Amino acid sequence: MSGAPPSSHVNATHAAQQTPGNTTNNAADVASTSAHPPPNAPDPTTSNNAAQRGLSTAAASSSTELASLKVTLKSSLRQFPDFPSPGILFEDIMPLFSNPSHHNSLITALELQFREKFGANHGIDVIVGLESRGFLFGPTLAMRLGAGFVPVRKQGKLPGECVTEGYQKEYGTDWFQMQKDAISPGQKVVIVDDIIATGGSAAAAGNLVQQIGGQLVGYVFIMELDFLKGRDKLNAPVHTLLSGQDEALQSSK
């Protein structure tokens, strides 16, 4: 007698009917698990929000610290009227270096300002300091930022092959130099100095950086004599740590 026994036919039919049902139930179980994760599973939305709150809190804390440091540093400066010529109110930054606490505050403030303006992951390769007061804090700031330091010096002070750039001073032309191999092509560079006045020396330094292939990202100064409009000569963003003078001193002479 041919054909499967009746019981076999029933079992096969029952199995065929159960298979789709099982698949549907499994899919529903997976969907239910995805929609309702186990109680101990981390919530990615909560984690992201917490991370964002942490970043915001850190940024706010840094801004508060920077504002406090600026007040301390500003109060530590000395001013000398009519120096080096009538109508100039000379800002003396030397007290910032004679006091180790003020010196540390200056470097910390510059570091915070730097990260605020250029980003925490700034990628700056080289800090370039101008002769001579840029040498006072440039190397330490570079070390804090994990960057190299390169000096710009007056003509004839550096050995080896150099590039040269002139700039106008009150009584003629002066010259800056930089060693030709001091910066590799494409490296990101920030130029630092104590005060920006007419902007001539800073502009010359920027030209030197670009002559040897550096990527000039910006300038950072401790102070600015705003009324001289020196930043107008510079071809990269300018950032100053402390508020400067917005008008010339009315000389009593």
From CA 108, how far away is CA 97, in angstroms rounded?
A: 13
From CA 24, how far away is CA 16, in angstroms rounded?
A: 14
Amino acid 89: pLDDT: 86
DSSP line for 132-180: TTHHHHHHHHHHHHT-EEEEEEETTSS-SSEEEEEEEETTEEEEEEEET
Amino acid 243: pLDDT: 83
pLDDT digit string (tens) for the chain, length 253 residues: 444 444 444 444 444 444 444 444 554 454 454 455 566 656 655 556 655 555 556 677 889 999 999 999 999 999 999 998 888 888 999 999 999 999 999 999 999 999 999 988 889 999 999 999 999 999 999 999 999 999 999 999 999 999 999 999 877 899 999 999 999 999 999 999 999 999 999 999 999 999 999 999 999 999 998 988 999 999 999 999 998 776 665 543 3
Amino acid 46: pLDDT: 56
Assigned token pair, 253: 């002479």
Domains along the sequence of the chain with CATH: 57-240 (3.40.50.2020)
Amino acid 38: pLDDT: 60
